[in-house]
Amino acid sequence: MVVSKRHPRDCPRINIREPWDLQYWSDRWNVPRQQVVEAIRRVGDQVHDVAQALGKN
């Protein structure tokens, strides 16, 4: 049985309950993880919306 490892960029949403997902986007946008969490709470979990909220278009 082959298990494929999901990559955060494959999903249009950010899951703040998954530490690896949150860490990926924090590193990609070069912002603290807490800043990503706060943006998600303001605008929702869509990657595009969070990027805009962080000024990372």
pTM: 0.81
The C-alpha atoms of residue 45 and residue 12 are separated, in whole angstroms, by 8
Give per-residue pLDDT as tens, 10-52: 679 999 899 999 999 999 999 999 999 999 999 999 999 999 9
**Whether pLDDT at 3 is above 60:** no
Contacts of 24-31 with CB under 8 Å at 24 or more apart are 25/50, 29/54, 29/56, 31/56
Sorting pLDDT into bands at 50, 70 and 90, what band is 5? low
* Contact status, residue 22 vs residue 33, Cβ threshold 8 Å: yes
pLDDT recorded at residue 11: 79
46: β partners:
13
pLDDT recorded at residue 8: 59
Q: Is 40 exposed, middle or buried (0-12, 13-18, 19+ CB in 10 A)?
A: buried
